[in-house]
Structure 1
Amino acid sequence: MNQQRTEQLQYMQRKIDEINRSTSSRVDIPKLPILHTNLSGMASTGSDIWIEQAILQSLRFREIQVRFHKIPEAHARTFGWIFGRPAPSQNPELCRNSCVGTLPNVKFIDWLEDSTPQTSLYWIAGKAGAGKSTLMKFLSDHEETKRALASWAGSNPLVIASYFFWCFGTQLQKSQEGLLQTLLYEICRQCPHLIRSCCPWRMGPLARDAWSLSELRKALHNLKTGLVESTKFFVFVDGLDEYDGDTREIVEAIEDLSSLPNIKLCVSSRPWTIFREKFGQDQDRHLFVQDLTKGDINLYVRNTFEADSNFLQAKVEDEKYEDLVTDIVIKAEGVFLWVILVVKSLLNGLTNEDSLRAMHDRLNRLPADLEDFFHHMLKSVEPVYQEKMARTFQVAIAGDGPLPVLVYSHLDDIEECPDYALRLALYPIVRTTGVCSPETEAMFMTDFKKGERQMQKRLDARTKGLLEVVRETTNRNELVNKVSFLHRTVGDFVKREEIMSEFTKITGSTFNVNVMLCHALLATIKALPGISDGRFILTILNDLVHPLLDHAYSEEIGQRAAQIEVIDELERSLTYYHPIHFPVSLVLGVPISLGEVLNSEGSKSLID
């Protein structure tokens, strides 16, 4: 809440104190009109603030910051070139073969500070795995960015917002609705005095209602006058190529946003033709990440190697190990993700006491193309893990977004016993409170952490790190940790038709991923204890129940096979854990139309 609202609340508190003092002994009849006026004013102000907060809550969605926190932090001292500072480099040959120290086309800081820019948009482009999202996160949170924007804003208020598209996320993480809702939320959060002017129709009973795309567009259109009068607005939009829809739609949306007064946008994407044509015409207002990161890659490789005791020992024995760093940087061609994977592979070689020649041989055998590298990694999975690898990737693909670690931990059990989830005992709880005892909860969390460590090792063995456990930084409970693709490019790769065909060939035609997911999700629901934080466990259940119903419905319409036993057991489990909190009633033992359940709920939480 901004300074204006803080002052209003302080004013209300002073008035309440005055009223308390004036009425502590007796009521002064002549002062009753003044008292009535003060109370009416406070009631009106309080009502306005309540409605503003309700509107803010309607704009905020649970995943609003999830993608930002999942993006890796920039390696220390990298990306300084974006502000005109060359990356440190100790290799003269590397400097001669890179743009380090010159940076002729990077005028980003000038554009940030420019009070009368010819264009309100700056485009950061780069090929897959070059580090665009990491750079955007770095910029959006850097003090140098804030300083430059403060210079641009001058005495005007400044609103900074960011949105990171994520093609593997929820609908609000990859759509226009999500983008506009996030931007409107940030504007209204930082400038609540603009709420009334941007959406006057919501200053009442509609305050908490869900937003439509047309409403969001109307509200942003209404803000034009407010922004002209009072506010400078800067927005980062990462991953335009991850938009779920016609690319022309998101281009038009960005162009429409850039037409707002007093606004600047920094957007990023892969260098697709449509983005080049729309955003890449001004040489001073775009850059290609892979052309500028040789110094950063050199620094990352050197620092990572020198943090390894085996490398330091090898370096003492043979100075030519330095050449290995240069070879990696040159072969990388600006693709940071490739470098990370290569360095990991080479460090494994050092652990095995590889010689310098063996290290170079290993490097030369690794494909320079990122997708070829992924294929090489899959082929290197041990034969004993091949079928589990294929099943795991099929689950990750069908999951339509990251799934909790617990879901993956049940896959092996279901493979061994198809009825495992149906037979699994419910976690013991105290019937009067609906939660387990503190001792039981502590025991569960100990077992969970142990199982998570085991799952990470299994994923490393079965997927060579292409799937990883991502720890939530926005929630205190480890139960929300999920399994995700190492990078968007990994998801794109394994979804290719020929790769999917390879997985199907390995698992055989009898493997049904929808049924597997129904059972794995059910087992996860049954394995959760009644943790004392009721709202948290309800959130977890909501992340599990909707996907289970989705996959059961897909199986019902695809194979005409209703998952009656699974749905019956789901209802029994939910009734056992949350007889009061869970309002959805499914008919036991009767084939139901899951389409009706899903359509009636839409995107609304099943657990409210």
Structure 2
Amino acid sequence: MARALKHHSSVESSLENNVRAILKHVSSAAVNSSGKRWQEDLRYDMVQMIYSSQKTVSDLGGDNDTIILSPETCDKLQNTVISTLRYAGMEDRTNNITATYEKTFQWALQREQSDMQKWDNLPYCLENSSQMYWITGKAGSGKSTLMKFPPGDASSVQVMDARIITPSRWEAVTILGAHRQMQTWSEADLKSSLLLAVRSLTQAGIYVSFFIDGLDEFSGRPKELISLVCELLEIDVRVKVFVASRPWVDLQDAFQSQPSLKLEDLTYKDVKDYDTGRFAGYAAFSNLRRCNLAFANQLVGNIVSKASGVCLWVKLVIDSLLAGISYGDRIEDLQRRLDFLPSDLETLYDRMLKDWILSIMCMQLK
């Protein structure tokens, strides 16, 4: 009883101090500010107080620190929260991912499982009890393109129409109407809010799937990212996580027991179809092919073999060969050009950059 009275007295004192601070602010702001500016300042300062306070409704003896929001308020708050998560260039990565070439990657979503199949069945993992799937492969092997493929192929999307918000700081922002003054998200805030949101969704019976591309490209230590993935998976069996990355040692150690596929081992047919299709759509190559069918077919086969499943390498090399055709190269010239190009993607980029710099220097000398 004594502890309760002491706690009540402490809360009362805190409230009194806050009221005094508010009245002092109002009296000074009303004198020094014009129009409604002082009201905005007051709102902001009140939100700041609530942000910095460790007290919640539960501290006052209540057993529920939630409030029910109207649909209009919820929509407004939702848009405000989303706007704080946006940043410049947010959509660049997704928009820059090349769309799948005609009928490529269809094998990944085939439900029939053959004994010779070299990968764990992706549709089965999407639809059944497996919580995680790891897509790994070399740089440029098409991981991002494949990661964009399953969400775009989904036949339906479940949307939760939630109207209850529990964190007390959202209550403060909503009650005061100070949406524009929300603080910048810290990493800890982002993580705790993500885990809370996922937990709330799964408790409502919603299945949540994450498609995380380029796990090896994020800043920070790999073990922290792996830990976050594991925390998501531990929330509920309704959570599924699909990640794509190069086969870094830390990631291999963490995910090697999970269902997976190694992309460059599985894209031979896709690369061949892309190779054949690009050349077939170029009239000048068709003319060369009619004159030397065997050599032309051999060239296409050599490209596929040298690519080692790296789709981006194939695109860059075919662009180079088609440019050669436009300059009058023969099939033999194209083969020599192919032999000259390095099979490693990074070395190929380096060679192309040097050639580009050299061409600019030559143009300047003319």
The answer to whether the superposition gives a TM-score over 0.5 is yes
Give the 3 Å change call, closer, same or farther, for CA 302–195 of structure 1 in structure 2. Answer: farther
Shift of 1:192: 4.8
Q: What is the rounded CA distance, in whole Å, between the counterparts of 1:326 and 1:279 in structure 2? A: 34
Q: Distance in 2 between matches of 1:108 and 1:326?
A: 29
CA distance in structure 2 between the partners assigned to 1:359 and 1:384 by the alignment: 20
Deviations 1:137-176 (A, max 9, x none): 122212xxx24xx6xxxxxxx55xxxxxxxxxxxxxxxxx
Cα drift, residue 278 of structure 1: 0.6
Does the 8 Å contact 1:291/1:334 carry over to 2?
A: yes
CA distance in 2, matches of 1:138, 1:109: 12
Say whether 1:350 aligns with 2:325.
yes
Q: Which residue pairs with 1:545 in the alignment?
A: none
Correspondence 1:139 to 2:124: no
The Cα offsets for residues 202-252 of structure 1, whole Å up to 9 and x where unpaired, read as 123265513222222222333314422331111100001111111111111
Matched, 1:204 2:179: no
The answer as to whether partners of 2:111 and 2:121 remain within 8 angstroms in 1 is no
Q: Which amino acid aligns with 1:71?
A: I
What do residues 99-135 of structure 1 show as CA deviations (whole Å, max 9, x unaligned)?
x995332400111111x33xx1100001111111111
Residue of structure 2 in register with 1:265 after alignment:
241
In the alignment, which of 168, 188, 197 is matched to residue 214 of structure 1? Answer: 188
- Spell out the pairing of 1:203-282 with structure 2 (5 A cutoff): 203-205=171-173, 207-208=179-180, 209=182, 210-223=184-197, 224-261=199-236, 262-282=238-258
1:248-302: CA deviations, max 9, x gaps? 11111111122221110110000101111111223xx101110111101101111
User: Residue 54 of structure 1 aligns with which residue?
Assistant: 80
Q: Give the alignment partner of residue 301 of structure 2, picking from 321, 326, 334.
A: 326
Structure 1 partner of 2:162: 193
Specify the alignment match of 1:364 in structure 2.
339
Give the counterpart of 1:64 among 90, 98, 111.
90
User: CA 1:323–1:106 in structure 2 vs 1: closer, same or farther (change >3 Å)?
Assistant: farther
Spell out the pairing of 1:2-401 with structure 2 (5 A cutoff).
46-84=72-110, 102-114=116-128, 116-117=129-130, 120-142=131-153, 146-147=154-155, 159=158, 190-193=159-162, 196-197=165-166, 199-205=167-173, 207-208=179-180, 209=182, 210-223=184-197, 224-261=199-236, 262-282=238-258, 285-320=259-294, 321-381=296-356, 383=358, 385-386=360-361
CA distance in 2, matches of 1:101, 1:348: 42
Name the SS for the 2:235 alignment partner: coil
Provide the rounded CA distance (Å) in 2 between the counterparts of 1:368 and 1:46.
57
- CA contact under 8 A between 2:111 and 2:123: conserved in structure 1? no
SS in structure 1 of the partner of residue 139 of structure 2: coil
CA distance in 1, matches of 2:226, 2:106: 29
Matches of 1:339 and 1:323, distance apart in 2? 15
2:201 and 2:330 mapped to 1: Cα distance? 66
Say which SS state the counterpart of residue 315 (structure 1) adopts.
Answer: helix
Identify the residue that residue 34 of structure 2 maps to in structure 1.
Answer: none
- Amino acid in structure 2 at the alignment position of 1:273: V
Instruction: Label 1:46 to 1:362 Cα distance change in 2 as closer, same or farther (>3 A).
Output: closer
Q: Give a deviation string over 1:448-467, Cα, whole Å, max 9, x none.
A: xxxxxxxxxxxxx99xxxxx
Question: Gapped runs of 5+ residues in structure 1?
Answer: 1-42, 87-99, 151-157, 160-189, 388-460, 463-608
**Structure 2, unaligned runs of 5 or more:** 1-68
What is the DSSP-based 3-state SS (H/G/I as helix, E as strand, rest coil) of the residue aligned with 1:334? Answer: coil
- Superposition deviation, residue 62 in structure 1: 4.8
Structure with larger RCO (C-alpha < 8 A, sep 6+): 2
Deviation sequence 1:429-488 (CA, Å, 0-9, x none): xxxxxxxxxxxxxxxxxxxxxxxxxxxxxxxx99xxxxxxxxxxxxxxxxxxxxxxxxxx
TM-score (norm 1): 0.44
Per-residue Cα deviation, 1:402-445 (whole angstroms, up to 9, x for no partner) = xxxxxxxxxxxxxxxxxxxxxxxxxxxxxxxxxxxxxxxxxxxx
Asked whether the equivalents of residues 134 and 261 of structure 2 are also in contact (C-alpha less than 8 Å), the reply is yes
Q: Deviations over 1:350-388 (max 9, x none)?
A: 22332222221221111112222223223323646249x
Rounded Cα–Cα distance in structure 2 between residues aligned with 1:378 and 1:294: 28
1: CA distance, partners of 2:251 / 2:274: 30
Root-mean-square deviation (CA), in Å?
Answer: 2.8
Residues 273 and 195 (structure 1), Cα distance of their counterparts in 2 relative to 1, 3 Å cut: farther
Runs of 4+ in 1 over 6 A off after TM superposition: none
Whether the 8 Å contact between 1:258 and 1:264 is mirrored in structure 2 is yes
How has the CA–CA distance of structure 1 residues 374 and 225 changed in structure 2, closer, same or farther, with 3 Å as cutoff?
Answer: closer
Alignment of 1:329-478 (within 5 A): 329-381=304-356, 383=358, 385-386=360-361
CA separation of 1:101 and 1:84: change in aligned 2, threshold 3 A: farther
For residues 340 and 384 of structure 1, the distance between their equivalents in structure 2, rounded to whole angstroms, comes to: 21
With over 3 angstroms needed to count, the CA separation of the structure-2 counterparts of 1:276 and 1:204, relative to structure 1, is same
**Higher Rg of the two aligned structures:** 2
Checking the alignment, whether the CA contact within 8 Å between 1:82 and 1:106 is kept in structure 2 is no
Q: 1:101 & 1:332 partners in 2: Cα distance?
A: 26
Query: Helix, strand or coil: the match of 1:357?
Result: helix
- 1:503 maps to none
Judging changes above 3 Å, is the alpha-carbon distance between structure 1 residues 373 and 59 closer, same or farther for their aligned structure 2 residues? closer
